[in-house]
Chain A
């Protein structure tokens, strides 16, 4: 079956690194995504990784993928108060004719304190 799990809460000090973890179940997932949701807003695409990659870096964001363990992580370097939000991990689900259905985790609420 399809399932994505994330820890629900993470608290970090401003300037430290944040690491948000996610596990997924569908080994056929080709793409894995990270989205950010701020209060009252929709989901903002942060980054995504293809399943044949181990790592992807984009400015302060680093995504690590361990396909064997079906584990995905998002590292935010030099975390700022503006990074406070809910972060969603999502996997693509096999669907006849297309792959555009995403299975989302419950979201990790990141709180950044001074």
Chain B
């Protein structure tokens, strides 16, 4: 079974631009979560989607948004990019939303904002 696929692997953008990252979950998984990983803040929860609905959201500004499609694929968007948005963005999928449904992560998209 294919794992979680994230595209693109690398992105370089300039301040003020916007970016869209894509995530294809493991087949059959209906929940998709997004995390930001930086050296300073570590792994921080962005949001979670289940059946096309955002169920939970982390403490990030409104510039960070996402959506989930009917095939469970998800995208996240960051508008008006800032230098501090440079990070590894990780997508994870799981069967359900309970704690007993472990998250399976993709290899991430590394975003560099210059």
Q: What total count of A-B pairs have CB within 8 Å?
A: 72
Residue contact A45 to B102, C-beta cutoff 8 Å: yes
Interface centre among A42, A48, A99, A103 (most CB of B within 10 A): A42
Indicate whether A43 sits within 8 Å of B55 (C-beta atoms), given known contacts A31-B100, A106-B42: no
Say which residue of A48, A99, A103 sits within 8 Å of B98 (CB atoms): A99
Q: Which of B56, B99, B107 has the most CB of A within 10 A?
A: B99
How many B residues face the partner with a CB closer than 8 A? Answer: 28
B43 at the interface (CB under 8 A from A): yes
Q: Do residues B100 and A101 form an inter-chain contact, with CB atoms below 8 A?
A: no
A35, closest chain B residue (CB): B105
- Tell me how far the C-beta of B77 lies from the nearest C-beta in chain A, rounded to whole angstroms: 20
Residue pair A43, B105 in contact (C-beta under 8 Å): yes
B68 at the interface (CB under 8 A from A): no
Residues from chain B with a CB closer than 8 A to the CB of A30 are 99-100
A108 at the binding interface (Cβ < 8 Å)? no
B102 touches A101 (CB 8 A): no
**Which residue from chain A places its CB closest to the CB of B110 in the assembled complex?**
A40
- Is A98 a contact partner of B45 (Cβ separation < 8 A)? no
B90 beta carbon closer than 8 Å to chain A:
yes
- 6 examples of A-B residue contacts, CB within 8 angstroms: A33-B103, A44-B105, A50-B100, A98-B56, A101-B33, A102-B43
- Residues of B that sit less than 8 Å from A by CB: 4, 6, 31, 33, 42-43, 45, 48, 50, 55-56, 58, 90, 92, 94, 96-108
A-side residues, CB < 8 A to B, are 29-31, 33, 35, 40-45, 48, 50, 88, 92, 95-107
